[in-house]
Amino acid sequence: MANALAGIKPEKVWMYFEKICSIPHGSKKEEKLAQWIIDWAKEKKFEVQTDKLGNIAVRKPATPGMENRKPVTLQGHIDMVCEKNSDVEFDFDTMGIQPYIDGDWVKAKGTTLGADNGIGVAMSMAILDSTEFPHPALEMLCTLDEETGLTGANQLATDLLKGEILINIDSEVEGTFTIGCAGGINTGGLFKYEAEAVPADHTAYKLTIKGLKGGHSGIEINDGRANAAKLMIRVINNLMKSINIKLSSIDSGNKHNAIPREAFAVITVPNDKKAEFDKFIANFNKILLDEWKTKEPGFTFIATPESNVNRVMTDDLQNRLIKSFILMPHGPYRMSPDIKGLVQTSTNFAIVETRKDEIYYLSSQRSSMESEKIALAEAVQAALTVGGAKVESGDGYPAWQPNVKSPILQKASEVYKQINGSEPKIEIIHAGLECGLIGEKYPNMDMLSIGPNLADVHSPDEKCQISSVERVFHFLTELLKNIPEKKNIA
């Protein structure tokens, strides 16, 4: 797959992106990519510095005549969401992503592409590694572990950065300047697995829901996509009401910020209910297909015989678990009263995983209103408590409050209009960005987020538009040429 992206422009951006793809860099496992970036910086004779966590700052002096411009930090995260479909054989710890060109898009073979945020890092590296673009003093900040809780930004050293303007290259719509985002918190729970033997007169089956779109729980949460975990809970609940099934396991999702695309459950069915069970599966499959045929055309629901099942949950645990999960909210909670179309508060039913001694659950709440974020997290906690789970909550991260009078926003808008003849779209997003946490540590830093067109991030359908990357890269280099002098920026 080497040079799979050769020939598309900007060539240096895609060269660096393909190299990033070749190095495993899932969240919390970015050490190989981090070391490669550090070695690259040293080879290029750039100043490089890391903080205690391992966030990386790479610096390049201003080009001649630009020394009096405000220094700029180009920022992106070097981890990626590792998602694949269950029938794809791929080890994210040892294998590199396999990108390929499909028309005007770059995609990956069977997995997430990692353009979130590899393409932003690649753009920053290409700019630092160029001699053709005038620019002020530059600093590339590569943060760690953004996708599982913004760990890098949360633990960013307060003396690492020297830039006065930060351009985050982690947005996903060309021509849109992001100036604010939601805050978030994860809420989870543990149910103790209380087991009993499989009844002698029962036969085991595996229920499978797959083929859903999934997607980013901040960006696509308002798109009306199905949540495989919630659908499976509904199936099990209806089976419990009509047939005396026993639940052995339920598993769905593996990322807090991805809508589950697949769900699996192992159940046992009384032998004398086999015909009734077959009829239920056929009928419920039709019900779900009718509900989702437009939005989820790839939807599949099947039941297949399962062997080597040696335990089921007690009736008490099964009832408590399913009751909790039926009560568990998912999706938009409230739309913004001030910005049309913006989700203000939401929650994602993200993960349920059956382990040896417990059933693990994780959800993610987002909001631009801190009070609503906490209130929704408390609703999730209440649903978990109903089922007798031990509740676990993270510290969360703050919203990035917008500054409509931001000097870098004004300058970027001027440059964008000069290039395109139209105004950019200014927005606040429901997804989380690191700018809020970075702004807490560097309160005087002027910040803006941009990026090329990405689609279906956090899913194996993720793709990055080639022509958009070229346009955004050109805009970014033009913006760097036009950074005002220090004395002209308050």
Instruction: Compute the half-sphere exposure of residue 181: CA atoms within 13 Å on the CB side of its CA.
Output: 24
Assess whether 146 carries a catalytic annotation: yes
**Sequential DSSP letters for 237-305:** HHHHHHS--EEEEEEE---TTB----EEEEEEEEGGGHHHHHHHHHHHHHHHHHHHTTT-TT-EEEEEE
CA distances from 320 to 122, 206, 384 (A): 48, 21, 9
Cα atoms found within 13 Å of the Cα of residue 169, Cβ hemisphere only: 27
Active site residue 79: yes
The SS3 assignment for 91 reads coil
> Which residue out of 51, 146, 164, 174 is catalytically annotated?
146
Q: Which of 51, 79, 172, 434 is catalytic?
A: 79
Give 8's DSSP letter: -
Provide CB contacts within 8 A for 193, sequence distance 6+: 313, 317, 354, 355, 356, 357, 358, 359
Q: How many residues does the chain have?
A: 490
Residue 175, CA distances (Å) to 126, 180, 420, 425 in order: 21, 16, 9, 6
Instruction: Label residues 88-120 b or e (16+ Cβ within 10 Å = b).
Output: eebebeeebbbbeeeeebbbbeebbbbbbbbbb
Please give the single-letter amino acid code of residue 152.
G
> Diameter of the chain by CA atoms?
85
Residue with tokens 């070695």: 39
Active-site positions?
79, 146
